[in-house]
């Protein structure tokens, strides 16, 4: 992946990035955009789990956990190994995932969790609007 992170790289024309090169990162964030999925990944940071244990610990339906784990495994984010008749799931790259989750927490804190109230992507938003369908944050402005 070629996400540019230093200021020198992202400022000015020289740092202009073809949006297509950001598609993998967008796919990653899209893949992290489901609360159940994020909960599964976050919980796996404490250690490997069987599907049944994840189901109990997270209070999610087994079908939900199984479906997300299968997808997350194909996405390369989790791995599994057989143990008896069960599969034990763990993070493929725990340090990197922990870093992303920690960075997200810091970003949320430093932006005052404003995204929670976003009419396009905030809590309760169910679709991903394209640019011309983005709603303004008018209600948020008037509430201040
Ligand atoms: Zn657990």
For residues 2 and 21, the answer to whether their CB atoms sit within 8 Å is yes
- Domain boundary assignment for the chain: 19-110, 112-144
For residues 75 and 31, the answer to whether their CB atoms sit within 8 Å is yes
Structure tokens at 110: 């430093």
Question: First and final CA of the chain: distance in angstroms?
Answer: 39
Q: Is 88 helix (H, G, I), strand (E, B) or coil?
A: strand
For residue 45, the CA-to-ligand 1 centroid distance in Å is 9
For residue 61, the CA-to-ligand 1 centroid distance in Å is 14
Identify the H or E element spanning 50: strand 49-50
For residue 68, the CA-to-ligand 1 centroid distance in Å is 16
For residue 116, the CA-to-ligand 1 centroid distance in Å is 27
For residues 36 and 68, the answer to whether their CB atoms sit within 8 Å is yes
Length of the chain in terms of residues written: 144
pLDDT in tens, the chain (144 residues): 555 555 444 445 667 888 889 999 999 999 999 999 999 999 999 999 999 999 999 999 999 999 999 999 999 999 999 999 999 999 999 999 999 999 999 999 999 999 999 999 898 888 888 889 999 987 555 555
Task: Supply the DSSP symbol for 130.
Answer: -
pLDDT of residue 102: 95
19-110 topology per CATH: Arc Repressor Mutant, subunit A (1.10.10)
């Amino acid at each position: 992946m070629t996400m540019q992170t230093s200021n020198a790289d992202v400022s000015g024309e020289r740092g202009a990035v073809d949006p297509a090169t950001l598609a993998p990162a967008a796919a990653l964030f899209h893949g992290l955009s489901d609360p159940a999925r994020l909960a599964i990944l976050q919980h796996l940071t404490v250690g490997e789990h069987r599907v049944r244990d994840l189901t109990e610990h997270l209070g999610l339906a087994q079908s939900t956990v199984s479906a997300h784990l299968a997808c997350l495994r194909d996405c390369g984010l989790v791995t599994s190994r057989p143990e008896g008749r069960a599969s034990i799931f763990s993070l493929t790259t725990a340090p990197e995932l922990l870093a992303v989750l920690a960075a997200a927490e810091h970003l949320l804190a430093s932006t005052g969790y404003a995204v929670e109230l976003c009419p396009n992507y905030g809590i309760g938003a169910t679709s991903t609007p394209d640019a011309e369908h983005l709603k303004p944050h008018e209600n948020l402005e008037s509430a201040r």
